[in-house]
């Protein structure tokens, strides 16, 4: 949940961005730990949005060279940035894991029109599971190597390893993109013997301003090591299949693009 005063502040900041950059925000959501469900009391607000310019902005021979992101420095613990709709649709066509999570965020600040709903429906038919698994595997390996496999572990980073590993298990078992909320992943695919350790760690994180260094948790480490070993090189070397190769998908994305810029 987002404090109502913070919610209003974020929406005002987003509306100000629309005026400053002459854009219209199609969709804005919370990303990161607050959307995933394991935020600490002092966690930042990771606000992400997708926007469109007027149709005339795109009618330029060098449109590819125009800036396609809006970024702001973190102020009042609010981290706010967004992507142009062309960039978002291209990344969607590449099964970009971060974008797919934005579209399923349980915390939405702005939703103009059916843009997110249309992409979520299309994702069910087009998302490449190998590309998603590679995204989550890279995330898990990087965080585990840097923060966990040491004499003292960065305890909050357990969630940044467990969540992607459970997401992979969900994709493998359910043959569909995973839910964004951590508790759903735990309930769906976490080994029963592991759940009490996860619950204890989660309770500590949600009630503490910061989880610092601490002794590694052997039971969780064993699961992480086993999963990483099980994956091995499974998701490497296969590239990132481009669903633009599908004429039907390309047509749907083009239709959606034209619709949103004509209604901007």
Domain ranges for the chain: 4-126+241-262, 129-231
CATH of 4-126+241-262, one of 2.170.190.11, 3.30.450.20, 2.60.40.1180, 3.30.460.10: 3.30.460.10
Each residue's pLDDT tens digit, 8-62: 999 999 999 999 999 999 999 999 999 999 888 788 999 999 999 999 999 999 9
Q: Residue 125 has what pLDDT?
A: 81
* pLDDT for 57: 95
Check whether 209 has a pLDDT greater than 70: no
- pLDDT tens, residue by residue, 84-140: 999 999 999 988 999 999 999 999 999 999 999 999 999 988 888 888 999 999 999
Under 8 Å between Cβ of 117 and 144: no
Tokens 């064993």 locate to 222
* Residue at token pair 């592991």: 194
**218-245 residue pLDDT tens:** 999 999 999 999 998 787 755 555 555 6
Structure tokens given for 157 = 């980073």
Q: Which residues contact 236 (CB under 8 A, 6 or more apart)?
A: 134
DSSP 8-state class, residue 233: T
């Amino acid at each position: 949940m987002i404090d109502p005063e913070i919610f209003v502040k974020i929406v005002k900041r987003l509306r100000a961005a629309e005026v400053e950059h002459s854009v219209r925000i199609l969709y804005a959501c919370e990303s990161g730990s607050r959307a995933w469900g394991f935020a600490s009391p002092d966690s930042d607000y990771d606000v992400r949005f997708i926007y469109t310019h007027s149709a005339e902005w795109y009618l330029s021979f060098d449109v590819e060279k125009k800036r396609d992101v809006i970024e702001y420095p973190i102020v009042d613990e609010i981290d706010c940035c967004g992507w142009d709709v062309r960039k978002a649709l291209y990344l969607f066509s590449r099964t970009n894991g971060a974008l797919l999570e934005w579209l399923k965020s349980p915390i939405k600040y702005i939703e103009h029109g059916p843009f997110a709903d249309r992409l979520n429906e299309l994702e069910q038919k087009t998302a490449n599971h190998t590309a998603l698994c590679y995204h989550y595997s890279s995330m898990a390996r990087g965080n585990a190597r840097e923060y966990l496999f040491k004499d003292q572990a960065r305890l909050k980073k357990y969630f940044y390893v467990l969540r992607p590993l459970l997401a992979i298990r969900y994709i493998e078992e359910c043959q569909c993109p995973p839910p964004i909320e951590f508790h759903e992943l735990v309930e769906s695919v976490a080994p029963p013997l592991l759940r009490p350790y996860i619950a204890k760690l989660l309770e500590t994180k949600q009630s503490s301003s910061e989880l610092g260094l601490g002794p590694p948790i052997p039971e969780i480490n064993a699961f992480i090591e086993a999963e990483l070993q099980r994956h091995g090189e499974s998701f490497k070397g296969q590239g990132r299949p481009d669903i633009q190769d599908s004429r039907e998908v390309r047509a749907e994305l083009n239709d959606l693009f034209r619709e949103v810029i004509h209604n901007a």
